Amino acid sequence: GAGVSQSPRYKVAKRGQDVALRCDPISGHVSLFWYQQALGQGPEFLTYFQNEAQLDKSGLPSDRFFAERPEGSVSTLKIQRTQQEDSAVYLCASSHQQGRITEAFFGQGTRLTVV
Amino acid sequence: SQQGEEDPQALSIQEGENATMNCSYKTSINNLQWYRQNSGRGLVHLILIRSNEREKHSGRLRVTLDTSKKSSSLLITASRAADTASYFCATDRRFDQTGANNLFFGTGTRLTVIP
């Protein structure tokens, strides 16, 4: 497809379980962002990649969160030992720009529910 | 923490009326963007205004920017029921080490247009 694809769309995890969320950005897009969006809130920045380099991970809420983009294309956000407060929609966005980002393209998100 | 805040948090208007949403941000920016999010979906880019611009139009959208007050407004004229969505402002922030930029979102305005 032509857009940003995220999988799975929905994930229910038991507390303590590890989860992996996948993002397929638009082909050729250099920049990739992960955001966490709680219900009724705006997207909170988690981490940013430029190609395979993770340039900013200041938004990751704890060391249970880990993101990678080993070949500069597909990215995975992994959450270890999930907690209830991790329940949110996780959004991935990509941009062909690597300097000033003038437009980001978003996937539909993965809704994570930790029970 | 989020870079920007929108107000009002929620806005309900009749079809045909104009809707105005405001955004305030904290740090210096290169540009400011507005995005729209339908319920359960990803964000879609609407319009961008550069820091040296004061006003920009795109169809029924009008954006203003006041860098001295660190604020922006989005006006949607002649609203339609299909405009019902959440609207977010996003600002960039320079990542000094590489010159890359991140996008940080505000808290959003939930707009409901009543047919």
Mean pLDDT of the region B69-88: 96
How far is the alpha carbon of A89 from chain B, nearest alpha carbon, in Å?
A: 9
The distance of A91 to chain B (nearest Cα, Å) reads 7
Give chain A's mean pLDDT: 94
Number of H helices, E strands in chain A: 0, 11
Q: Which two tokens stand for residue A28?
A: 């050729």
Residue B58, min C-alpha distance to chain A (Å): 15
**In the structure, what pLDDT confidence band is assigned to residue A46 with cuts at 50, 70 and 90?**
very high
Q: Which residue has the higher pLDDT, A64 or B97?
A: A64
Q: Which candidate from B48, B88, B100 shows the least CB-CB separation from A55?
A: B100
- Tell me the H-state helices in B1-115: none
pLDDT at A51: 93
Query: Rounded CA gap, A107 and B77, in Å?
Result: 28
Alpha-carbon span B66 to B54, nearest angstrom: 7
For A83, the token pair is: 């907690």
Domain boundaries, chain A: 5-114
The residues, ordered by sequence, that sit 6+ positions from A50 with a Cβ below 8 Å of its Cβ are A30, A31, A98, B98, B100
Residue given tokens 């359960």 in the structure block: B40
- CATH superfamily to which A5-114 belongs: Immunoglobulins (2.60.40.10)
For position B1, what pLDDT does the model report?
45
Burial (Cβ within 10 Å: 0-12, 13-18, ≥19) of residue B35: buried
pLDDT above 70 covers what percent of chain A? Answer: 98
C-alpha to C-alpha distance for B41 and A61, rounded to whole angstroms: 23
Residues in chain A closer than 8 A to B40 (CB atoms)? 108
For chain B, what percent of residues have pLDDT higher than 70? 89
Q: Quick: pLDDT tens for B19-30.
A: 999 999 988 888
The SS3 of residue B83 is: helix
Cβ(A93)–Cβ(A4) below 8 Å: yes
Residues B30-74 have pLDDT tens digits of 889 999 999 888 899 999 999 999 999 999 999 999 999 999 999
For residue B17, the model assigns a pLDDT of 97
Contact yes or no for A25/A98 (Cβ under 8 A)? no
Question: Is some CB atom of chain A closer than 8 A to the CB atom of B101?
Answer: yes
The pLDDT assigned to B6 comes to 83
Give the residue among B69, B66, B48, B67 at the shortest CA–CA distance from B57: B48
pLDDT at B3: 61
pLDDT of B29: 85
**Looking at beta carbons, which residues of chain A come within 8 Å of B110?**
40
Q: Which CATH class is domain B4-114?
A: mainly beta
